[in-house]
Amino acid sequence: MASWPIVGKPLSDLWSLAPQLEEAANRLFLAAAGVGLGVLQFLVSILVAGFLLANSDQGARVSRKFAIHLFGNMSVEYEALDGGAVRSVTSGILGVALIQSLLAGLGFLVVQLPGAPLWAWLFLIAAVLQVGGALIPAVTYVFATTGTAKAVAFLIWCIVVALMDNVLKPLLLGRGVPVPIVVFLGAIGGFLAVGIIGLFVGPIVLSVRYKLFLAWLDEDIELAPDAA
């Protein structure tokens, strides 16, 4: 191919890059598929949550009986711990994402970004799914269509909005529960392990296991006289 006249050399160079381009395309496809799956999980979770809330009384009775069979006299404490973990993650993940999307939407309106409500909605979904770099397309568009001073000010605002996640999330995650650091670690680990559902499952599992571990440590054991 390289010996062909005129087009041979460019085609040969392009052909030599095919493996790298294929690998990059596969990575891009997998990333897009992961984001799409996260959005689908988010929408399904909203539907399931609505169904459960519509039958909350019956669900509470069933979960209480189940907790009694699992934990006996400690069922009330563990049930309160699980509920606190879910509320904590809701405020720490969904609450922070809502605050960030509102502030980002304010910035979109100030710079008169076309379709600002849609941009804010997309940023909200990305923030809930913990997808980084969601503001980059908006910043790029503003730099391409407006003056430098306005674009730089918008960039600074976007950086502040993005960094809020690092400040607010540790403050709100674990708030109102007796083991906040366990809830925080459970949310991060659960998300890394199984995605958005892990944000809620991780804190519950880790919190309950942590309390069970403490109860196991507090069990009566015989100590040697010198140790006592």
Same domain (yes/no): 83, 183:
yes
Q: Do 215 and 74 contact (CB within 8 A), yes or no? A: yes
pLDDT tens, residue by residue, 132-156: 677 888 888 888 888 888 888 989 9
Same domain (yes/no): 130, 185:
yes
pLDDT at 160 over 70: yes
Q: Is residue 136 part of a domain?
A: yes
Lookup: tokens for 89? 């993650």
Same domain (yes/no): 96, 200:
yes
Same domain (yes/no): 174, 94:
yes
Same domain (yes/no): 73, 102:
yes
Same domain (yes/no): 154, 184:
yes
H helices present in the chain, as ranges = 8-16, 18-54, 56-71, 75-89, 96-110, 116-128, 136-145, 148-172, 180-194, 198-217
Q: Is residue 206 part of a domain?
A: yes
Same domain (yes/no): 46, 115:
no
pLDDT tens, residue by residue, 38-69: 777 777 877 888 888 887 888 788 888 888 88
Enter the pTM of the model: 0.59
Q: Is residue 228 part of a domain?
A: no
10 Å CB burial of residue 197 (0-12, 13-18, 19+) is middle
Q: Is residue 16 part of a domain?
A: no
Residue 90's CB: how many other CB atoms inside 10 A? 13
**DSSP code at position 73:** G
Same domain (yes/no): 168, 140:
yes
In the chain, the N- to C-terminal Cα span, in Å, equals: 84
Q: Is residue 59 part of a domain?
A: no
Lookup: tokens for 197? 């559902």
Same domain (yes/no): 73, 139:
yes
Per the document, the length of the chain is 228
Lookup: tokens for 166? 């690092």
Same domain (yes/no): 83, 37:
no
Residue 31 sits in which domain range?
Answer: 22-54
Mean per-residue pLDDT over the chain, rounded: 78
Number of domains comprising the chain: 2
Mean pLDDT: which of 9-13, 29-33, 125-129, 134-138 is highest? 134-138
**DSSP code at position 4:** S
Which range is least confidently modeled, 3-7, 103-107, 111-115, 167-171?
3-7
Q: What is the pLDDT of residue 176?
A: 62
**DSSP code at position 72:** G
Lookup: tokens for 47? 């539907």
Same domain (yes/no): 213, 122:
yes
Q: How far apart are CA 216 and CA 74, in angstroms?
A: 13
Q: Is residue 15 part of a domain?
A: no
